[in-house]
Amino acid sequence: MRPIDQYFSNQPEPHKSALAFLRNHILALDSRLTEEWKYSMPMYCLKGKMFCYLWVHKKYKQPYIGIVEGGRLNHPDLLQEKRARMKILLIDAEADIPVEKVDEILRAALEFYK
């Protein structure tokens, strides 16, 4: 099994289901997005450049989407924390995933790659 597949399969529920949904949803967002295993995490790249990644927040114990160019986005639900360039969108794995919000943020981030 590839390390990236192992990462997803080793997650406990409900994180496993939320991350699996986000994985497929991100890849379906734009046909140019590719999934890679970088820095020991699932990374999604566009034209060879890092776009976003999926991870679980250690403090909040919630899955999140890390937006590489998030620092250039102004959205009230994105957290900067101690990152200079990136922002994250926390996902409550026990609730319905806010697909419209995810799409709005990811589509805005895609604009930086044109």
pLDDT (tens, 9 = 90+) of the chain, 114 residues, equals 999 999 999 999 999 999 999 999 999 999 999 999 999 999 999 999 999 999 999 999 999 999 999 999 999 999 999 888 999 999 999 999 999 999 999 999 999 998
Q: How far is CA 10 from CA 5, 18, 33, 79, 108, in A?
A: 9, 13, 24, 26, 31
**In the prediction, which pLDDT does 114 show?**
81
**In the prediction, which pLDDT does 83 show?**
85
**In the prediction, which pLDDT does 44 show?**
98
- Measured CA to CA, the distance from residue 9 to residue 92 in angstroms comes to 19
**In the prediction, which pLDDT does 74 show?**
94
Phi, psi of 6 (to 5 degrees): -65, -40
Give domain limits for the chain: 3-113
CATH among 3.90.1150.200, 3.40.190.10, 3.20.20.370, 3.40.50.970 for 3-113 = 3.90.1150.200
